Amino acid sequence: MSTLIYGATVVAGDTIMEPGAVLLRGGRIEALLDRWEQPGEAFPGEAIDARGCVVMPGLINGHTHGVTPGALFPSAAHSLSRDRWMGHLDRHLLAGTTTVLSLCGLGAMADVREADRHHAVHVRGATTHLPLALQAAQASDGHGLTRAARELSVERMLEDGAVAIGELGGGQTLGGGGQDLIYIPEAIAKRTGIRVSSSQARRLKEAVLGRFIQTGALDERRLSDLAGETGLAGALPLGELAALIADTVLPSMEPALGAIRDGVRTALKLGVPAIVHSASATANVMRELMDETPSKGAQLIAAHANHPSHTPQEAYELAMRGKDKGWAAEACVFDLLHRRHTVQTREHWDRLLSEPDLVSVLATDYGKDGEHDELISAVQDVFNQGHRSLAGAVAMATTEVARLIPGIAPDCSKLRAGGAADIVVASAADFRDVKFVFVDGQCVVRNGELTEEAHR
Ligand SMILES: [Zn+2]
């Protein structure tokens, strides 16, 4: 059975075929064509008229969470239900992502293989099975840790198929967004019965620990104002409120920072990629590691270099310093383009992406409850804003990811004759309008809806 996708703008590596066609057969790309015959009745397969569309390789997302069973996030929170992690994979696939790297890091490869087996998206795994990362997880949460996962090591995980070390650090263990969303509101509700929002939690945290999450940064006046605003003033004395927040955030900080150091050194020793959580709370450690261990052999990646806990200037300077030392930078779309639940500004995004060759790859991270913006909308934005050419923007979510993380998608990051047929057909006007997705030549999204082949 053959499939001919014709009439589209085809992104084949650095070459744009406009219009072009792609012929699929036996799960592979048989040919890329700049001339083809209008298929008639005799064509032995399906012909897709893709005029008005862009055809690109299935996207590769090197930074996801919540796409497998097993411990969630660097805090090793309780695993998501099967419906939820399958649902997250559905969302990735419907938006043209055909390969994801789970950066939850403290699960087992059996969890990754289970997701990979049951969903058309290729699911790859990473590891942070380091003693200090486990300690940080247990200090902040740890409820999703299994005994088997606790006994694993980075080396064992790599032997078992993990393709990177990461995510080293995270908002949950480093006083970031994960604390604001989950742990601080939970601790306050448990003590007082009052539920604060994530933005209130963030402001309370910054009043107690400052933006760089340190002791000695308490701003009593600000804390008192916020306690009034949130109704906490009558519920517990200010000193206890400050202690409650500090005791929620701080215990995982030191081990999590130590795990970043250990993880990067291990990556350099073993020659595997490492993905490090970039945020204001990790800026000092990252600077120290960039200076101490210029990337040689291993690919060191600063995750979400555009993290909004940095100021735009701090984000820029840290990414530039990384670039000098051979680190790569990833820009995360979070939900800054469309949904804007967690990130309301695109200033950091544009600042970093407008600098030529500073950011190598794009990713999504998780957003609020997995409601990140689509990776494909990030590709389109980078192109529309003029930060990159179309081929350059697509490369940031395909070939560049595969180059930095060699095990993630060795065969399917580029459209080429003889290559694997992971292919996206999306409206040229709005890439989020994904019409068709093929994985290994099988149609898994048709007219914007999952087919039966999407789940296995
Ligand atoms: Zn992160």
pLDDT tens digits, 31-48 = 999 988 777 777 889 999
Give the pLDDT confidence score for residue 173 in this predicted structure: 93
Calculate how far, in angstroms, residue 309's C-alpha sits from the geometric centre of ligand 1: 11
Q: Which of 38-47, 265-274, 391-400, 418-427 has the lowest mean pLDDT?
A: 38-47
Tokens 């620990």 -> residue = 209
Calculate how far, in angstroms, residue 381's C-alpha sits from the geometric centre of ligand 1: 22
* pLDDT for residue 187 is more than 80: yes
* pLDDT for residue 241 is more than 90: yes
Calculate how far, in angstroms, residue 70's C-alpha sits from the geometric centre of ligand 1: 18
d(C-alpha 412, C-alpha 426), whole Å = 18
Count H helices and E strands in the chain, helices first.
17, 17
d(C-alpha 157, C-alpha 407), whole Å = 13
Kindly write down the DSSP assignment for every residue of 234-274, as one continuous string: TTS-HHHHHHHHHHHHGGGHHHHHHHHHHHHHHHHHHT--E
Q: Convert the pLDDT of each residue in 103-135 to its tens digit.
A: 999 999 999 999 999 999 999 999 999 999 999
Give the pLDDT confidence score for residue 294 in this predicted structure: 61
* pLDDT for residue 413 is more than 90: no
Calculate how far, in angstroms, residue 300's C-alpha sits from the geometric centre of ligand 1: 14
Calculate how far, in angstroms, residue 65's C-alpha sits from the geometric centre of ligand 1: 10
Residue 205 · residue 280 · CB < 8 Å = no
Calculate how far, in angstroms, residue 451's C-alpha sits from the geometric centre of ligand 1: 32
Mean pLDDT computed over every residue of the chain: 95
Residues 6+ apart with CB under 8 A from 45: 1, 2, 3, 4, 25
Calculate how far, in angstroms, residue 34's C-alpha sits from the geometric centre of ligand 1: 42
For residue 164, list its beta bridge partners: 126
Calculate how far, in angstroms, residue 454's C-alpha sits from the geometric centre of ligand 1: 28
Calculate how far, in angstroms, residue 172's C-alpha sits from the geometric centre of ligand 1: 9
Calculate how far, in angstroms, residue 373's C-alpha sits from the geometric centre of ligand 1: 16
Calculate how far, in angstroms, residue 151's C-alpha sits from the geometric centre of ligand 1: 24
In the CATH scheme, what architecture does the domain 2-57+412-454 have? Roll (2.30)
Local confidence band at 295 (pLDDT 50, 70, 90 cut-offs): low
Cα-based distances in Å from 229 to 222, 225, 275, 454 = 11, 6, 38, 48
Calculate how far, in angstroms, residue 204's C-alpha sits from the geometric centre of ligand 1: 21
Give the pLDDT confidence score for residue 224 in this predicted structure: 96
How many CA atoms within 13 Å lie on the side-chain side of 121?
32
Residue 400 · residue 65 · CB < 8 Å = no
* Nearest to 2, CA basis, from 31, 23, 33: 23
Calculate how far, in angstroms, residue 439's C-alpha sits from the geometric centre of ligand 1: 28
* pLDDT for residue 100 is more than 90: yes
Calculate how far, in angstroms, residue 63's C-alpha sits from the geometric centre of ligand 1: 8
Return the domain boundaries, the chain. Answer: 2-57+412-454, 59-174+252-404, 177-248
Residues 6+ apart with CB under 8 A from 324: 290
The amino acid at residue 281 is A
Calculate how far, in angstroms, residue 35's C-alpha sits from the geometric centre of ligand 1: 45
Residue 301 · residue 266 · CB < 8 Å = no
Calculate how far, in angstroms, residue 343's C-alpha sits from the geometric centre of ligand 1: 14
Q: Which residues surround ligand 1, an ion (CB under 5 A)?
A: 170, 277
Supply the CATH classification number for the domain 59-174+252-404: 3.20.20.140
Calculate how far, in angstroms, residue 341's C-alpha sits from the geometric centre of ligand 1: 17
